[in-house]
Structure 1
Amino acid sequence: MRKVTPDPPDADNASPNESSETRDEDDHQASFADIKATPRKPCTMYSVNPEVDVQTLLGCVSESLASASVITMDVADRETGPSRNSLLGVHQILMVAELSVNRALDQLDPIE
């Protein structure tokens, strides 16, 4: 049976007009100085509106931490042994973070 598609070119013979020096420059890894010299462009995929006030942001964080805490406990209830202990540890960390955020919210808007 005859092969219909040709073989891909070898890596060394990718382009007959290209010298090995050009390929070496393409393979050059960026140095730390090159990276630091490049201006930083923040990713806008997951950006927070800069006009949102701190109280709203903390409220959203508090709700997210509470949700993560509930999810962690649900999964921990189905586990046994070291996995369960790890999940309970994660839950405890989430609870401490949630308490801290709620305390910051209380300081922003104290109940009198």
Structure 2
Amino acid sequence: MKKFPPDLPETNSDPLDPVELSKSTERTISARLRNPNHADPISHFFNIFPDVDTPSLLSHSCETLAQLNFLTTELACKLEGSNRSLALSIQQLAVIGELLVKRALDNVDPPEETPDSQPTTQH
């Protein structure tokens, strides 16, 4: 018995036109570059509370970069050729950023030394 795929509902929504999207983005970026005092439109959507401590900011940054590392690695596994190389380059930048943030976090809040963490000597 043959199975037929279900009929997908027709959608009336048009996909975003990349050319129009690019033009809109270019206008916004150009305005920002011409006048550095012009408000950054992205800052109206997301905001970080001003009283968040530095270790928390660094921890969240590190986790975000680790997620970016994972996602780009997963993407690279599904790609071939120059697209794979591009995804792996982005992944490498995420790893470098993660290492830098981890070092900054260690500088701000050094890990505690515990007696158990010292190497054991065997005779």
Q: TM-score category by the smaller chain?
A: 0.5 to 0.7
Calculate percent identity across the aligned residue pairs.
Answer: 32
Distance 1:41 1:73 in 2: 31
Paired residues, what number? 78
For 1:97, the equivalent position in structure 2 comes to: 97
Structure 2 gaps, min length 5: 1-30, 114-123
Q: CA-atom RMSD, angstroms?
A: 2.4
Runs of 4 or more above 3 Å deviation: 38-44
- After superposition, the C-alpha distances for 1:58-88 in whole angstroms (9 at most, x for unaligned) are 1000000000100000000011100000000
For 2:57, the equivalent position in structure 1 comes to: 57
Distance 1:71 1:41 in 2: 27
Structure 1 counterpart of 2:100, one-letter code: S
The Cα shift of 1:39 comes to 8.0
Structure 2 counterpart of 1:78, one-letter code: K
For 1:67, the equivalent position in structure 2 comes to: 67
Mark the CA change 1:103 to 1:80 in structure 2 (over 3 Å): closer, same or farther.
Answer: same
For 1:88, the equivalent position in structure 2 comes to: 88
Mark the CA change 1:75 to 1:40 in structure 2 (over 3 Å): closer, same or farther.
Answer: closer
The higher relative CO (CA closer than 8 Å, separation ≥ 6) is in 1
TM-score w.r.t. the length of structure 2 is: 0.56
Structure 1 gaps, min length 5: 1-31
The Cα shift of 1:109 comes to 1.1
- Written as runs of structure 1 = structure 2, the 5 A alignment for 1:1-112 is 43-111=43-111, 112=113
Structure 2 counterpart of 1:66, one-letter code: A
TM-score w.r.t. the length of structure 1 is: 0.62
Distance 1:60 1:106 in 2: 14
Mark the CA change 1:40 to 1:85 in structure 2 (over 3 Å): closer, same or farther.
Answer: closer
